[in-house]
């Protein structure tokens, strides 16, 4: 799963490279995100993930705080945020976290905190979620491009 996590930014960049300029801010439906918004969401999510892992490892009783991703997209006007900066954030955060993941001890992998929305939340739970996160959003960008092309 660490390798999947490490490979995520490559998938996201590849998906983004296939988005025609006219499709970047196009939304497939009301309440759905554009490719641009997806990438900015990934930057916010990755920075949250970065700290969540560190709280899990370093704190004696870690509390992982959930957030409303749709509210963030609206509040921070994701379309106004520079796409290049968001993508660079995703790459930097993952590049900074992969070495940490590779040196975690068995005890670190067994650490469990509490998530405000889902209850018990372990280091392994964290990795399962974030190993898939950029894969999922890369596919979502691909579906957006498909739907944009058929519109």
Model pTM score: 0.95
Round to whole Å and give the CA distance between 144 and 20: 11
What's the order of all strands across the beta sheet hosting 112-115? 63-64, 112-115, 119-122
Tell me what percent of the residues of the chain surpass a pLDDT of 90: 99
Over the stretch 35-60, which tens digit does the pLDDT of each residue have?
999 999 999 999 999 999 999 999 99
Q: What would the two tokens of residue 85 be?
A: 């900066």
pLDDT at position 38 = 98
75-113, pLDDT tens digit by residue? Answer: 999 999 999 999 999 999 999 999 999 999 999 999 999
The candidate with the shortest Cα–Cα distance to 108, out of 116, 117, 100, is: 100
Summarize pLDDT for 68-77 with one digit per residue, the tens.
Answer: 999 999 999 9
Q: Mean pLDDT over residues 10-17, rounded?
A: 98
What is the pLDDT of the chain when averaged over all its residues? 96
User: What's the pLDDT at 151?
Assistant: 87
CA dist 13 and 84 (Å) reads 10
Among 1.20.140.10, 1.10.10.10, 1.20.120.450, 1.10.3720.10, what is the CATH number of 2-16+32-150? 1.20.120.450
CA gap 110, 105 in Å, rounded: 9
């Amino acid at each position: 799963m660490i390798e999947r996590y490490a490979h995520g930014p490559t998938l996201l960049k590849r998906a983004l490279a296939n988005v025609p300029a006219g499709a970047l801010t196009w939304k497939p439906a009301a309440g759905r995100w554009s490719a641009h918004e997806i990438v900015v969401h990934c930057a916010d999510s990755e920075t949250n993930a970065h700290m969540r892992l560190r709280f899990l490892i370093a704190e004696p009783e870690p509390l992982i705080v959930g957030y409303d991703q749709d509210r963030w997209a609206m509040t921070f006007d994701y379309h106004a945020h520079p796409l290049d900066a968001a993508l660079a954030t995703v790459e930097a955060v993952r590049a900074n976290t992969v070495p940490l993941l590779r040196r975690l001890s068995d005890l670190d992998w067994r650490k469990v905190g509490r998530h405000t929305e889902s209850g018990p939340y372990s280091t392994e739970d964290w990795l399962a979620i974030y190993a898939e996160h950029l894969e999922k959003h890369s596919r979502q960008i691909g579906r957006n491009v498909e739907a944009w092309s058929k519109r």
